[in-house]
Amino acid sequence: MARQPSTKQLCDWDRKYLWHPFTQMQEWEQEDPLIIEKGKGSYLIDTDGKKYLDGTSSIWVNLHGHRHPTLDRAIKKQLDKIAHSTFLGLSNPPAIQLARELIRIAPKGLTRVFYSDNGSTAVEVAIKMAVQYWQQHRPQAGSKKTFLHLKLAYHGDTIGAVSVGNIKLFHSRFTSLLFPTVEADPPYCYRCPLSLAYPTCRMACLDPIERIIKERHRELAGFIIEPLVQTAAGMITAPPGYLKRVRELCTKYNVLLIADEVATGFGRTGKMFACQHEGVTPDLMAISKGLTGGYMPLAATLTTEEIYKGFLGTYEDFKTFFHGHSYTGNPLGCAVALANLDVFQREKTLARLQPKIKTMARLLQPLWQLPHVGDIRQRGFMVAIELVEDKQTRKPYPLEKRVGHRVTMEARRRGLLLRPIGNVIILMPPLSTSLPELRRMVEILRGAITTVTLLPTAG
């Protein structure tokens, strides 16, 4: 077997041959990349053997820690059978069993599973299903092809997902490619678009949404929403009851509710799915990320029997959902996803998470005192810390100052890996993180924020 190249060699080749996502490569090329070779539990280990706490769960995917024996074993076992066979015209045991399990744990009323590979495709599938459903189910309602979504929404990077997204920095270059949508203000309480305060506002931000739905329901195929938390927007957390009200409005005006649980699903918010906090069943639900416990790229779009039936007919009716990917229903991905759900049950992951959520809140409490911490938002095991230049006026740091980035680089030096969203620091560790590890993470985070925001260049 060829000898493993040295760290230096790998760094050189990385800079020479690669193009990393969401990365200014000109800057990347000037620094030594951190190259992760191994992992164990809550830790990632680089090619020089240095250990880092995984504060982002490897971008919000890992749940039970790295190298979990049950998950490792599931992949190895499946590999002894087959790595992949197509799902177009064929089926496979793990994909069938996983679909059954997903329906068992999903919000009641979701009965069908359509697989794809990542969060963006799961959203694309939901959008396309909604449009085709209305065409076939109610030809007279053929004009129902527009989507309502929230500002600052993020549903992925493919063109359909970007069309229903609204993060200017990421999306504005592609405006000419996007289909038209209808946008509404999000429940961003810290920077309330109506300049009101919760709870006295009585969720007045829902009024314009009701008006839009009432006026435009004839053209609205669906309302796509990240339930409870708009994660990539910097973890904007909706007040209790918001999602339920959205569900009521969608039902009343016959607009499909599409829940994008790509980030919130699989325990992140403290329940298996965010929708379950408010007893909501969406018409379509996109899942990915935690689906495989952070092991393999796999996604699914779940839907109701009502929508599924809208696609039935003889072949020549051409009601088929003509969508699929080469790796749809991949047996390795489905096998490890089944093991992931098994671990949830056997290790009582959700029950054991509840005290950790409380501890997290307690540990974060003192950070409110820091002079540049404007807001701390927590929902379950998802945390965002919004850093501001001026706490009184809530004036944000100019993006050029890269305060979020500098905090995460400082945290990295101290042994914690994080990824910022502008001036917002996201902390989303694996659900299996132990209390001492959690304490260490918050301690490092606090130190990094203090160091960076109190440096003269930051203020």
Ligand X SMILES: Cc1ncc(COP(=O)(O)O)c(C=O)c1O
What are the residues binding ligand X (CB under 6 A)? 118-120, 123, 154-156, 226, 231-232, 260, 262-263, 288
CB of 223 to ligand X, least distance (A): 15
231/453 with CB nearer ligand X: 231
**Residue 258 C-beta-side C-alpha neighbours within 13 Å:** 31
258/364 with CB nearer ligand X: 258
CB of 268 to ligand X, least distance (A): 10
Cis peptide bond N-terminal to 199, omega within 30: yes
233/363 with CB nearer ligand X: 233
CB of 161 to ligand X, least distance (A): 6
CB of 315 to ligand X, least distance (A): 32
**Order of strands, edge to edge, in the sheet holding 36-40?**
36-40, 43-46, 51-54, 416-417
Buried/exposed code over 251-286 (b: 16+ C-beta within 10 A; e: otherwise) = eebebbbbbbbbbbbbbbbbbbbbbbbbebbbbbbb
Residues 371/389, Cβ–Cβ less than 8 Å: no
Q: Which residues pair with 130 in a beta bridge?
A: none
Q: Which residues pair with 395 in a beta bridge?
A: 390
92/230 with CB nearer ligand X: 230
- Token pair for residue 347? 């290790």
**Using the 8-state DSSP alphabet, how is residue 271 labeled?**
S
In 138-191, which residue ranges form alpha helices assigned H by DSSP?
159-163, 168-171
CB of 56 to ligand X, least distance (A): 11
| Residue with the CB atom nearest ligand X in the bound state | 119
CB of 121 to ligand X, least distance (A): 7
CB of 287 to ligand X, least distance (A): 10
131/228 with CB nearer ligand X: 228
156/374 with CB nearer ligand X: 156
Residues 125/301, Cβ–Cβ less than 8 Å: yes
The letter for the amino acid at 437 is E
**Measured distance CA(221)–CA(141) in Å, rounded:** 9
**Measured distance CA(237)–CA(227) in Å, rounded:** 9
263/302 with CB nearer ligand X: 263
Coil/strand/helix, residue 306 = helix
CB of 241 to ligand X, least distance (A): 21
47/230 with CB nearer ligand X: 230
**Measured distance CA(149)–CA(213) in Å, rounded:** 11
